[in-house]
Structure 1
Amino acid sequence: MSKNYEAIKAHYAGSDNKDLAAMMAPITDRTAWTEMAGFPYAGTYVGAVAIIEGVFKRIGDEWEGYTFKLERLVDGGSTVLGIGTYSGTYKRTGRPMKARVVHVWDVEDGKVLRFEQFTDTKLVAEATG
């Protein structure tokens, strides 16, 4: 497998282990991280600090048992795809959510240039609304 694939595989392993440092290892100060329009954290965050504050910290604060279950990781060289399912319960409403998702990673020499999320935002909005 490629260095890019291995970097993203390690990111997901870090996520499974709740290890933020491992998750952020392939992220640089220039990484552009885009959460899909309609998602509660929609927008583009640049750099590790912005990504942690704008996405991961908010997920931790607002969701109970939030997980991403990776089902398939596709090595496309400089583009790696992570396919799976989000699940969790939104704390404020007590409503559960389960939604399919695809992550598109543009990676160079094991470092993430861009990340983009595609998911069913309606299913997420039903839990948060």
Structure 2
Amino acid sequence: MRTNLQIIQEHYAASDRQDIAAMMADVAPDARWTEAAGFPCAGTHVGPQQIIDKVFKVLGGEWEGYTFKLESLIDGGATIAGVGTYSGTYRKTGKAMQARVVHVWQLDAGKIRAFEQFTDTLLVARAMT
């Protein structure tokens, strides 16, 4: 059986190769995915399809080269934190951004139950205006 840390490592590896199916493979049907207030996809989205439609499709459509570069993972057992940097160029303005970010993951019984993002939304907003 994989550890919670391995599940999140595999999620990020799938993200790096833009494999949405693999990214969602361990997301529980009722998982709560929360994007920070002020972020383009702000709010809490429930379940894999809402996460895909309201987060990943939006970011992929509005941003050129949108990426998350993982720098470290903190293993807290049922809680895993990923620390890194977002970057990308907002298509409508042509402005680039880089913003530090922390992702906090909650897992139970081998499934991702919750995700919460903490980032500097002002840096993202500046690229969008």
Q: Which TM-score applies when normalising by structure 2?
A: 0.97
Q: Determine what percentage of the aligned residue pairs are the same residue.
A: 60
Residue 65 of structure 1, CA deviation: 0.3
Paired position in structure 2 for 1:84: 84
Paired position in structure 2 for 1:47: 47
- In structure 2, the residue corresponding to 1:41 is in which secondary structure? coil
CA deviation string 1:19-66 (max 9, x = no partner): 111111111211000000010110000000000000000011000000
The structure 1 segments of at least 4 consecutive aligned residues displaced by more than 4 Å after TM superposition are none
Paired position in structure 1 for 2:128: 128
Separation in structure 2 between the aligned mates of residue 90 and residue 12 of structure 1, nearest angstrom: 22
Separation in structure 1 between the aligned mates of residue 64 and residue 73 of structure 2, nearest angstrom: 25
Q: How many residues end up aligned between the 2 structures?
A: 128
AA aligned opposite 1:86: Y
Paired position in structure 2 for 1:28: 28
CA contact (8 A) 1:64 1:90 kept: yes
Separation in structure 2 between the aligned mates of residue 56 and residue 125 of structure 1, nearest angstrom: 18
Paired position in structure 2 for 1:3: 3
Separation in structure 2 between the aligned mates of residue 123 and residue 76 of structure 1, nearest angstrom: 29
Separation in structure 2 between the aligned mates of residue 110 and residue 56 of structure 1, nearest angstrom: 23
Separation in structure 2 between the aligned mates of residue 70 and residue 120 of structure 1, nearest angstrom: 16
CA contact (8 A) 1:3 1:109 kept: no
Separation in structure 2 between the aligned mates of residue 105 and residue 53 of structure 1, nearest angstrom: 20
AA aligned opposite 1:35: E
Name the Cα RMSD after superposition: 0.8
AA aligned opposite 2:80: V
Residue 110 of structure 1, CA deviation: 2.1
